[in-house]
Amino acid sequence: MNNHTRVWILPALLTAIVTVPSRAADDVALLKDLTSVVALLGVPCGEVVSATRMKDNDHIATCQDGNRYRVFVNAQGRVVAQKQ
């Protein structure tokens, strides 16, 4: 391995180590937020175990019971959960 390659590998590894935990923390916070929103809307879910971002304020939330809901802000500014 030449010195030029080493110069690029160390910063790349450090960046990966630093950014992966922060993304994971954001994902956990998002799942908790979606779980709270779904519960406040009275939708049977239990806990949101995964979420896929469609666009800003628009997610597909998958519950522990297997149900999937699209959670988004409608044109009137209200949060809505639609079963998928």
State mean pLDDT over 18-45.
76
67: its two tokens = 């149900």
Considering its fold, how many domains does the chain have in total?
Answer: 1
Q: Predicted confidence band at 49 (pLDDT cuts at 50, 70, 90)?
A: very high
Given a cut of 80, whether residue 15 has pLDDT beyond it is: no
Given a cut of 70, whether residue 6 has pLDDT beyond it is: no
- CA distance linking residue 76 with residue 33, whole number of Å: 21
Coil, strand or helix: which one is 30?
helix
Q: Predicted confidence band at 2 (pLDDT cuts at 50, 70, 90)?
A: low
Bridge partner list, 52: 60
DSSP state of 44: S
- Structural domain for 26, as ranges: 3-83
Instruction: List the 48-55 sheet strands across, edge first.
Output: 48-55, 58-63, 68-73, 79-83
